[in-house]
Structure 1
Amino acid sequence: MGKVFITQVKSTIKKPENQKRTIQALGLGKINRTVEVELTPQIAGMINKVSHLVSVKEA
């Protein structure tokens, strides 16, 4: 599987608790923080749940 860069672009304030936990599990938590992760089916599902809060770029 390939690697992707995930950047948080919106705040988690007033978002459901499960979305806040997903952002934390991805290694994010502050706006404009970027992480590089291996694109697995589990990570793809997490990205899908918080797609309105993050931007994704292929590595």
Structure 2
Amino acid sequence: MAKNLIPSDVQLEITQIKSAIGGKQNQRDTLRSLGLKRIGHTVVRTADAVTVGMLNTVPHLVKVEEAK
């Protein structure tokens, strides 16, 4: 879950763990903006203010880990 994130230079691995079907349009749009296309898809993004804001919109649909 994406909770208590703060903007920094850390790389985050973001994985979609739940479907956007039945969700609000802004949540579906946020997942697409993050680059997530399907359940299990993972992207690596910098934890800047924009990304953290998007993750706070869909914390129940994604899993966030620090990239190695």
TM-score by length of 2: 0.85
Query: Structure 1 segments of 4 or more deviating over 2 A?
Result: none
Q: Secondary structure at the match of 1:42?
A: helix
- Segments of 5+ residues of structure 2 without an aligned counterpart are 1-8
Q: Deviations over 1:2-50 (max 9, x none)?
A: 1000000000000000000000000002000000011101100100100
Distance 2:21 2:42 in 1: 19
Q: Secondary structure at the match of 2:23?
A: coil
The number of equivalent residue pairs is 59
Alignment match, 2:15: 7
- Segments of 5+ residues of structure 1 without an aligned counterpart are none
Alignment match, 2:40: 32
What's the RMSD between the two structures over aligned residues? 0.5
Q: Secondary structure at the match of 2:64?
A: strand
Alignment match, 2:54: 46
Percent identical residues: 42
